[in-house]
Amino acid sequence: MIHFRKMYHTRGIFIRLLMKGFVFFVDVIKNKNGKLAGESKTSTEKIHFSIQEIIGFVNKIAPTLEELARVIDYNQNVFMQASNKSKEEEMSIGKIHSALEAIKDMGGELNKDMKAMAYK
């Protein structure tokens, strides 16, 4: 009987120690989870702050980008007009060149005719 009581008592101590260890383990996990939750909240707040800063920067540069787009569009139109004028001038110069060639040819023909008349 003594042996049985001793074993029961030892088993009881073991169970109590096991329960205390389990409670300690649960407390450790609870503390770790609390720390992780706090760190997660801090990280979330930092991310939110960073996103708000980015939104602020975008809001500040958006009008400048819109103005830049208008200036680029205006410049593109100016360059297109200049290119079209340049092509028109090139065509006009070609026409002038053709007219000068025709005048030269007529002058040559007139010169031949005058020489022919002079020798008659």
The CA-CA-CA angle for residues 114, 119, 120, to 5°, reads: 100
101 falls within a domain: no
Q: Judge whether residue 41 has pLDDT over 50.
A: yes
Averaged over 53-57, what is the pLDDT?
A: 88
The Cα–Cα gap between 49 and 60 comes to 17
The Cα–Cα gap between 100 and 8 comes to 129
Q: Judge whether residue 89 has pLDDT over 90.
A: yes
Three-class DSSP category at 120: coil
Structural domain tally of the chain? 1
Identify the domain containing residue 53 by its residue range: 1-87
Give percent of the chain above pLDDT 70: 73
119 falls within a domain: no
